[in-house]
């Protein structure tokens, strides 16, 4: 799948797709409380996406069985919602969601606290979000793709966290995953030159412990190998000649 440069018309559609996704994230965030199941979170997200006239793009994506990825604690990404999986006070929960509006995809992820959480867990969430913003400082036309990767890595390094290497960010548009792939760790090559009109999903996944991950037997859920907790922060952005536009912020 090639890198695509969006026209003004396509950019408007991406903006709307992402604006609607931000509303979905807001509603899911406000619903989070101890005692709810991860399936309830999926139902809230799925219902709102459809009410907004959109299609949940994760559902049936390579057979993924839900609309929202709900990943708890040591689950990094792609947790499968389950009515028996109950969120507990002190947990952290990563919600990854996307939708299709008039053929255009959006994708964003947030990690939330469930009730009161430890200062260590809160710091992991905060640093993961901040690493995204460190990365996109470099996201402008004329810079190179791996300037983003290197900036995320440099921001995380002093914290000693593990940066997940097996999953990366990606281009996005009329498909959920377009080229280029966007690693969140330092690269030797510069990568491609960024151009105005590229839309990218940048998504650091950061572990409190080591970077290594493994896949559970459900073939979806990615967990940390060492059992340490993990946070995720993702937005769909637009490259411009100046500052990037973050399309999925509320």
Q: Is 229 in the site for ligand MF3 (CB under 6 A)?
A: no
List of residues 6+ apart from 134 with CB closer than 8 A: 151, 152, 154, 155
* Minimal distance, residue 96 CB to ligand MF3, in Å: 4
> Do 11 and 198 contact (CB within 8 A), yes or no?
no
* Minimal distance, residue 16 CB to ligand MF3, in Å: 19
The rounded radius of gyration (Å) of the Cα atoms in the chain is 17
Question: Of the listed pieces 55-63, 128-136, 142-150, 156-164, which binds ligand MF3 according to CB under 6 A?
Answer: 55-63
Question: Of the listed pieces 62-70, 139-147, 185-193, 209-217, which binds ligand MF3 according to CB under 6 A?
Answer: 62-70
> Do 132 and 233 contact (CB within 8 A), yes or no?
yes
Judged by CB under 6 A, how many residues of this single chain contact ligand MF3?
A: 11
Residue 244 backbone class (left: φ over 0; alpha: ψ -120 to 50; beta: rest): beta
Q: Is 61 in the site for ligand MF3 (CB under 6 A)?
A: yes
Distance from the Cα of residue 238 to its chain's centroid = 15
In 52-118, where does DSSP find H-type helix?
none
Residue of 46, 91, 107, 245 interacting with Co ion (CB under 5 A)? 107
- 3 state SS of 154: helix
Binding to ligand MF3 in span 76-105, by CB under 6 A: 78, 96, 98
Question: Of the listed pieces 29-37, 56-64, 129-137, 223-231, which binds ligand MF3 according to CB under 6 A?
Answer: 56-64
Q: Is 178 in the site for Co ion (CB under 5 A)?
A: no
Q: Is 201 in the site for ligand MF3 (CB under 6 A)?
A: yes
C-alpha separations of 65 from 8, 23, 68, 139 in Å:
34, 22, 9, 33
- Using CB distances below 5 to 8 A depending on partner kind, what does residue 85 bind out of ligand MF3, Co ion, none? none
Distance CA 144, CA 239 (A): 11
Question: Of the listed pieces 14-22, 47-55, 100-108, 215-223, which binds Co ion according to CB under 5 A?
Answer: 100-108
Q: Which residues bind Co ion (CB under 5 A)?
A: 107, 201, 203
């Amino acid at each position: 799948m090639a890198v695509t440069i969006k026209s003004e018309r396509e950019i408007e559609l991406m903006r709307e797709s992402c604006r609607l996704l931000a509303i979905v994230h807001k509603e899911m965030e406000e619903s989070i409380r101890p005692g709810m199941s991860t399936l309830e979170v999926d139902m809230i997200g799925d219902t709102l996406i459809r009410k907004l006239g959109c299609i949940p793009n994760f559902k049936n994506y390579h057979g993924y069985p839900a609309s929202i990825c709900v990943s708890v604690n040591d689950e990094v990404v792609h947790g499968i919602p389950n009515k028996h999986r109950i969120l507990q006070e002190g947990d952290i929960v990563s919600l990854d969601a996307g939708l299709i509006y008039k053929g255009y995809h959006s994708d964003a992820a947030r990690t939330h606290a469930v009730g009161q959480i430890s200062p260590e867990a809160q710091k992991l969430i905060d640093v993961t979000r901040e690493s995204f913003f460190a990365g996109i400082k470099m996201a402008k036309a004329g810079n190179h793709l791996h300037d983003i990767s290197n900036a995320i890595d440099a921001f995380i390094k002093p914290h000693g966290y593990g940066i997940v290497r097996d999953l990366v960010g990606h281009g996005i548009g009329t498909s959920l995953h377009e080229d280029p792939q966007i690693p969140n760790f330092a690269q030797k090559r510069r990568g491609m030159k960024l151009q105005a009109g590229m839309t990218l999903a940048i998504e650091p996944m950061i572990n409190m412990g080591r970077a290594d991950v493994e896949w559970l037997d459900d073939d979806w859920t990615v967990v940390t190998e060492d059992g340490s907790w993990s946070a995720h922060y993702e937005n769909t952005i637009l490259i411009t000649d100046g500052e990037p536009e973050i399309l999925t912020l509320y």
